[in-house]
Amino acid sequence: MHRIDYESFYIEMETINIQKDKVQLVSCFGRINNQNSLLISKEINRIFEDKIYNVILNLTELEYLNSIGIAIVLSIVKTVDYHQGKFVIGGMSDQIEAILKLVELPGKFKVYSSVNEAIDNWSKN
């Protein structure tokens, strides 16, 4: 497992195998806010250092997401789409779900209630 730390926020990344696919499980913890969002947005492509473009994004421990944070999620979706990978969200807190419902996110990915549900349904995406 690999971890990237920022002020009041960190990402844990783990490569997992689901059937024949290598998948980057990206878990977010803390808050994406005005103090850290610009640095995170500049460095977010570090999650693709291993050239794995299948992503499960776990937002269950993310406490807050500002507009730049939403742009960061969309940037991940765009990179995955460009490389013809798969992207799903494997869980999010009620607060993050409420924020993301206000934004019309692209319909190119599915949202599951947990990482386990995302893994179990990976082949359906």
The structural domains of the chain, ordered by start, are: 2-116 (3.30.750.24)
**Can you say whether residue 102 is alpha, beta or left, with left for phi > 0 and alpha for psi between -120 and 50 degrees?**
alpha
Output the pTM of the full model.
0.92
CB 53 within 8 A of CB 84: yes
């419902």: which residue's tokens?
101
Strands of the 21-32 sheet, one edge to the other: 2-6, 9-18, 21-32, 55-65, 87-92, 110-112
118 three-state secondary structure:
helix
The pLDDT value recorded for residue 7 is: 92
Predicted local distance difference test score (pLDDT) of residue 106: 65
Walk along the chain (125 residues) in steps of 10 and give the mean pLDDT of each run.
93 95 97 93 91 97 93 92 95 89 75 96 86
55: left (phi over 0), alpha (psi -120 to 50) or beta: beta
CB 102 within 8 A of CB 45: no
